[in-house]
């Protein structure tokens, strides 16, 4: 299916050849920027939370619903005008079988042809995106959709309609946690990953796991004079082969003949690959060396990849973070070095990092500046200056900053904080609800040490996008004192007044362990930040928790974007 739904007057974009992060809604970004048949692999982990009850998921939405009910599923979409429009685009513009499937789903899931509930809204918005993701996949491309059991059965119906039942390859079960002792039924410990391909001719590199110690002891107990482990396998032919019936070094021919010709037997013998019994009445056997075996072929039940727990070295504190090993397995199996990997819900960037590590090109899309800033920090932490990429959708000048502040003050806050090395504090990372949370007057935190052995100290950051005055700076001074922070930074979109500067100056100075003096409260304008101004402070150690640095990219990764 090559349909492009929701027609805008877009000219067909050229294939993306540079690593790219997009800020914004992935549906218009896919339509406007990503060309037909230009992506080798798609992985998506769309927002969904199975902790919600089915009573909420299937409850009819109307103007009479309470705010509490309407907020019960904030990590996905509500039925609104945009969903209604998208539903009609699917029904009117998608191929007939997709339109019929969506109509039938609405009758069943939402209770009628005009039903409106959150589950159906979710399926409509996912279907529109899956249509676009199918469009951008190459004929040899693959798609992996990561979900949980709450909606997986509906998503599979949608995928079957868009990709074709014949292109369903696997339902992978990943054990993401251990059994919960307080569960009242079978403990929910797994996620579902659906694997679909664009066609029957798809990229596939069989994945293998290391043999278990039990397998090694039972199958590879033999060791040769060079210390190499091996197992023995039969050298007789399973079927009659008259031309392979010959005597070999005093051993008579098996009834069906040997498995190998005389020439091959000679070569194997010269290479020390044949085991000979003491008794000539017994058969020689072939040595299969452990160090030449690829391992155990991995199936569709994955229990060997641990989730991101509270002690994991790669944990960044992002709620839906997936293990790097999970994405490395998927990317290695279904793409090759130099291929393009796309994640339209890239969150904290695990797909992007895995693709970069494995020498693939990548495209990441996310709707929050919080996620984009975390991805940039993670790429810097793990690859240093070796990774080249561009970011599309972020403000590039003061007018863009003002527009973002007007559209969504919280997205503005999350965009500007990383520019000065701060991490966001509190709030709602979805960027959809506009709820800031109990931040206690703290929008961001910068941590630093001013000597090797000292404890980490904090700088409290407040961000203001509207009208400001001296009392706002005074509030920051009070917050710094109350929280026992070393310093404070007041970031403002508006130019500060002289009384504001005087209030900051009156807060005094912070003296580092080396005797250097820094203003205890500093005022930075967005204009100054865009011009390169930064916080005056001792050495910064971290903003987000740093991701561990990965190994140097392999030679296949060099020169991808030269």
Residue 416 neighbours by CB under 8 Å, 6+ apart: 401, 463, 491, 526, 529
Measured CA angle at 317 (ends 313, 318), to 5 deg: 120
Q: Which of 322, 394, 334, 381 has its CA nearest to residue 360?
A: 334
pLDDT band at 185 (very low <50, low <70, confident <90, very high): confident
Q: What is the pLDDT of residue 172?
A: 96
Q: How far apart are CA 145 and CA 127, in angstroms?
A: 12
Q: What is the pLDDT of residue 189?
A: 86
Q: How many CB atoms lie within 10 A of CB 489?
A: 28
Q: How many CB atoms lie within 10 A of CB 486?
A: 22
Tokens representing 250?
Answer: 């005093």
pLDDT, tens digit (0-9, with 9 covering 90-100), for 333-377: 999 999 999 999 998 899 999 999 999 999 999 988 888 888 888
209, 304 Cβ separation under 8 angstroms? yes
Measured CA angle at 373 (ends 371, 377), to 5 deg: 115
In 3-state terms, what secondary structure has residue 24?
A: coil
Compute the half-sphere exposure of residue 254: CA atoms within 13 Å on the CB side of its CA. 18
pLDDT band at 552 (very low <50, low <70, confident <90, very high): very low
Helices marked H in 439-544: 470-483, 498-506, 526-530
Q: What is the pLDDT of residue 319?
A: 66
379, 387 Cβ separation under 8 angstroms? yes
Tokens representing 86?
Answer: 């998208």
pLDDT, tens digit (0-9, with 9 covering 90-100), for 50-87: 444 434 444 455 434 333 333 333 444 678 888 999 99
Tokens representing 293?
Answer: 């075996």
Is a pLDDT exceeding 90 seen at residue 562?
Answer: no
How remote is the C-alpha of 360 from its chain's centroid? 14
pLDDT band at 551 (very low <50, low <70, confident <90, very high): low
Q: What is the pLDDT of residue 148?
A: 82
Q: How far apart are CA 21 and CA 364, in angstroms?
A: 5
Instruction: Give me the chain's average pLDDT, please.
Output: 84
Name the residue with higher pLDDT: 265 or 370.
Answer: 265
Least confident of 28-32, 47-51, 254-258, 553-557: 553-557
Q: How far apart are CA 495 and CA 467, in angstroms?
A: 9
Q: How far apart are CA 361 and CA 355, in angstroms?
A: 7
Tokens representing 275?
Answer: 């085991």
Domains of the chain: 22-207+299-367 (3.40.50.150), 210-292 (no CATH), 412-542 (3.40.1350)
Is a pLDDT exceeding 80 seen at residue 547?
Answer: no
In 3-state terms, what secondary structure has residue 288?
A: strand
Name the residue with higher pLDDT: 227 or 39.
Answer: 39
Q: What is the CA radius of gyration of the chain?
A: 30
Q: Tokens 């007007």 — which residue?
A: 406
49, 151 Cβ separation under 8 angstroms? no
Measured CA angle at 77 (ends 72, 79), to 5 deg: 95
pLDDT band at 544 (very low <50, low <70, confident <90, very high): very low
Q: Tokens 């945009």 — which residue?
A: 82
Could you give the angle at which helices 118-136 and 81-93 cross, rounded to 10 degrees?
50
Name the residue with higher pLDDT: 406 or 310.
Answer: 406
Q: How far apart are CA 42 and CA 20, in angstroms?
A: 14
For strand 190-197 and strand 137-147, is the pairing parallel, antiparallel, or unpaired? antiparallel
pTM for the structure as a whole = 0.75
Q: How far apart are CA 152 and CA 119, in angstroms?
A: 11
Q: How far apart are CA 400 and CA 412, in angstroms?
A: 10
For the chain, give the percent of residues with pLDDT over 90: 55
């Amino acid at each position: 299916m090559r349909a492009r739904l929701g027609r805008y007057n877009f000219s067909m974009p050229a294939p993306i050849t540079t690593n790219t992060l997009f800020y914004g809604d992935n549906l218009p970004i896919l339509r406007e920027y990503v060309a037909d048949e230009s992506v080798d692999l798609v992985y998506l982990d769309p927002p969904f939370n199975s902790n919600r009850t089915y009573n909420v998921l299937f409850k009819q939405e109307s103007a009479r619903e309470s705010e509490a009910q309407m907020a019960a599923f904030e990590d996905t979409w509500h039925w609104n005008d945009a969903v209604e429009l998208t539903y009609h685009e699917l029904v009117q513009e998608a191929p007939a079988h997709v339109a019929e499937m969506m109509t039938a789903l609405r009758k069943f899931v939402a209770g009628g042809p005009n039903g409106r509930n959150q589950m159906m809204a979710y399926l409509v918005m996912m279907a529109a995106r899956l249509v676009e993701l199918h469009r951008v996949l190459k004929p040899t491309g693959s798609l992996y959709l990561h979900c949980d059991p709450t909606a997986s059965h509906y998503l599979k119906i949608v995928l079957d309609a868009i990709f074709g039942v014949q292109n369903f390859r696997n339902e992978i079960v990943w054990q993401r946690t251990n059994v919960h002792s307080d569960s009242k039924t079978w403990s929910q410990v797994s996620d579902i990953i659906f694997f679909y391909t664009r066609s029957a001719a798809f990229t596939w590199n069989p994945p293998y796991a290391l043999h278990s110690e039990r397998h090694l002891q039972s199958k590879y107990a033999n060791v040769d004079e060079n210390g190499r482990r091996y197992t023995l396998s039969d050298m007789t032919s399973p079927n009659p082969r008259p031309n392979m019936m010959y005597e070999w070094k005093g051993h008579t021919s098996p009834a069906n003949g040997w498995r190998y010709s005389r020439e091959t037997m000679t070569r194997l013998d010269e290479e020390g690959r044949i085991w000979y019994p003491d008794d000539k009445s017994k058969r020689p056997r072939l040595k299969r060396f452990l160090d030449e075996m690829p391992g155990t072929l991995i199936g569709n039940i994955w229990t060997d990849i641990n989730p991101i727990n509270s002690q994991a070295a790669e944990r960044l504190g992002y709620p839906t973070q997936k293990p790097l090993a999970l994405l490395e397995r998927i990317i290695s199996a279904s793409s090759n070095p130099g291929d393009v990997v796309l994640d339209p819900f890239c969150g904290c960037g695990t797909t992007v990092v895995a693709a970069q590590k494995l020498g693939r090109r990548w495209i990441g899309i996310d709707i929050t500046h919080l996620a984009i800033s975390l991805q940039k920090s993670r790429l810097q932490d793990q690859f240093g200056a070796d990774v080249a990429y561009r970011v599309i959708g972020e403000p590039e000048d003061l007018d863009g900053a003002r527009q973002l502040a007007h559209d969504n003050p919280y997205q503005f806050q999350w965009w500007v904080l990383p520019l000065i090395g701060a991490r966001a504090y509190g709030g709602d990372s979805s960027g959809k609800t506009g709820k800031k949370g109990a931040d206690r007057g703290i929008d961001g935190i910068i941590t630093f040490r001013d000597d090797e052995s000292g404890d980490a100290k904090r700088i409290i950051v407040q961000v203001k996008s509207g009208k400001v005055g001296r009392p706002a700076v005074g509030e920051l001074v009070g917050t710094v004192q109350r929280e026992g922070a070393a310093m404070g930074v007041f970031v403002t979109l508006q130019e500060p007044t002289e009384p504001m500067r005087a209030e900051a100056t009156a807060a005094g100075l912070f003296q580092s362990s080396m005797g250097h003096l820094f203003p205890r409260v500093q005022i930075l304008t967005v204009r100054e930040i865009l011009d390169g101004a930064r916080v005056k402070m001792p050495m910064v150690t971290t903003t987000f928790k740093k991701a561990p640095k990965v190994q140097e990219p392999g030679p296949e990764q060099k020169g991808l974007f030269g």
